[in-house]
Amino acid sequence: MGYKLESTNEKLTPRTGVAILGEYLKDMKLEELCNENLPKAKRNNGYSAFEFIYPLILMLHSGGRFLDDIREIKIDKALTTLLKIKNIPTANAFSKYLRKHGTDGEDGMRKINKKYLKKFLKSI
């Protein structure tokens, strides 16, 4: 058949579509909006709001249904390298963050959604 197979040390990910979404979210300045509008972790050495929200969005868009599914994003070295994700909280940390910031988090997400809606409705 004439095929040649070669080995490679390149990292591969089954989440290429999620990688494209991740780049798009960064281009939309989601990090700035998250860190401005969402509550910070209670501890000074804790994660930023974006470090919680970004992997959560990626996890949900890759088919995750439970907070424990975040480990699939965490162990995907190709994806984390490509998107330059250094810190991903554990499922337990996500749970604590979401519980502690329930209403404040909802208000922050409304502000973010409102900013995106204004931007995209103007472009139509």
Q: Please classify residue 26 by burial: count the beta carbons closer than 10 Å to its beta carbon, then call 0-12 exposed, 13-18 middle and 19+ buried.
A: middle
Question: pLDDT class for 52, splitting at 50, 70, 90?
Answer: very high
Look at residue 124 and tell me whether its pLDDT is greater than 80.
no
d(CA 40, CA 50): 9
Q: What angle do CA 87, 97, 53 make, to 5 degrees?
A: 50
Could you read off the pLDDT of 88-122 as tens digits, one per residue? Answer: 999 999 999 888 888 888 999 999 999 999 988 88
Location of structure tokens 């591969």:
12
Residue-range domain boundaries for the chain: 16-122
Task: Please state at what angle helix 16-27 crosses helix 30-37, rounded to 10 degrees.
Answer: 70
How far, in Å, are 14, 42, 63 from residue 104 at the CA level?
A: 34, 13, 26
Residue 72 reports pLDDT greater than 90: yes
Closest CA to 100 of 33, 43, 32, 30: 43
Torsion of CA 54, 84, 59, 29, to 10 degrees: 30
CA distance 124 to 120: 7
pLDDT-derived band at 26 (thresholds 50, 70, 90) equals very high
